[in-house]
Structure 1
Amino acid sequence: MDKSPTTGAGREYRGAMATVDITQADFGQTLEDHEIVFIDFWAGWCRPCQAFAPVYSAVSEQHPDIVFGKVDTEAEQELAAAAAITSIPTLMAFRDQVLVYSQPGAVDAGTLAGLVDAVKGLDMDAVRAEIAEGGAAE
């Protein structure tokens, strides 16, 4: 399985763009093809989303080994509903296809960078064991 952020879901992820648009059609494949995926659920009319976008983009440029996706909740209403999005922006992080973080609200660059480091440093065997025992992975 290719874990590089440049392939997967039938398209190139790294090029001129630091972040990529994720749709319902490629959401599952994106998670399957990449070890770590961050997803920002947003909408164009949302001022906190607009303020968070450059922070998210800047941090994504510092981590080319991770996919930083964006889901437009207006265009992808079914995906947003399936993800139980009730407030935007909402940031989710997946590692090995496991949701390890989900929180509404914008964060600053330092907090987001710390979150990236935390997700990279997770002991996924311990996370899976915790999930198997009925605990939360977040």
Structure 2
Amino acid sequence: MGTVTITAENFAETAGGEGITLLDFWATWCPPCRQFGPIFERVSEKHPDITFGKIDTDAEQLLAGEFNIRSIPTVMAVRDGVVVFQQAGALPERALESLIEQVRGLDMTEVKANAEEHSNK
């Protein structure tokens, strides 16, 4: 499937539903982003059941601000509309594959219950 461009207009539709969405917050002027881009693209081809989205932080400053992106690249994993992982820094391909397996293995009933508990505090 490859990667898709994520904007403020399509973010909720893309990452808000069921399934897994991996996001790469990046910018054209960022050398580590340019190094990570091909890895993200290559892994996206291996997992057609996952949405891989790229968010250009220069073009989508509101989205970057909403998620408090302070360093790029930043990888974010969203499952069933819940952010379950966010980390700044380019990941090696093996680490990205490991992240995917961990996100697949999450008990989302438990994750959502924990998220609700923390939001009520």
TM-score, length-scaled by structure 2: 0.93
- Give, in whole Å, the separation in 1 of the partners of 2:64 and 2:16: 19
Match of 2:43 in 1: 59
SS across alignment from 2:21:
strand
The letter of the residue matching 1:100 is V
Partner SS state of residue 25, structure 1: coil
Say if 2:17 and 2:81, in contact at 8 Å, map to a contact too: no
Q: Which deviations, in whole Å up to 9, do the C-alpha atoms of 1:36-86 show, x marking residues without a partner? A: 100000000000000000111111111000000000001111111111110
Query: Sequence identity of aligned pairs in percent?
Result: 49
CA distance in 1, matches of 2:116, 2:65: 25
Alignment of 1:26-45 (within 5 A): 26-45=10-29
How do residues 1-138 of structure 1 correspond to structure 2 at under 5 angstroms? 14=1, 18-134=2-118
Contact 1:34–1:66 (8 Å) recurs in 2? no
Q: Where does the alignment leave 5 or more consecutive residues of structure 2 unmatched?
A: none
Spell out, residue by residue over 1:1-45, the C-alpha distance to the aligned partner (whole angstroms, 9 max, x if none). Answer: xxxxxxxxxxxxx3xxx1110000000111234411000000000
C-alpha distance in structure 1 between counterparts of 2:45 and 2:89, whole Å: 21
Q: Which has the higher helix share?
A: 2
CA distance in 1, matches of 2:15, 2:36: 23
Does the 8 A contact of 2:17 with 2:80 survive in 1?
no
Asked if the contact 2:25/2:74 (under 8 Å) is kept, the reply is yes
TM-score scaled by structure 1? 0.82
Structure-2 separation of matches of 1:89 and 1:51: 10
Q: Which moved more, 1:30-39 or 1:78-87?
A: 30-39
**Distance in 1 (alpha carbons) for counterparts of 2:21 and 2:113:** 21
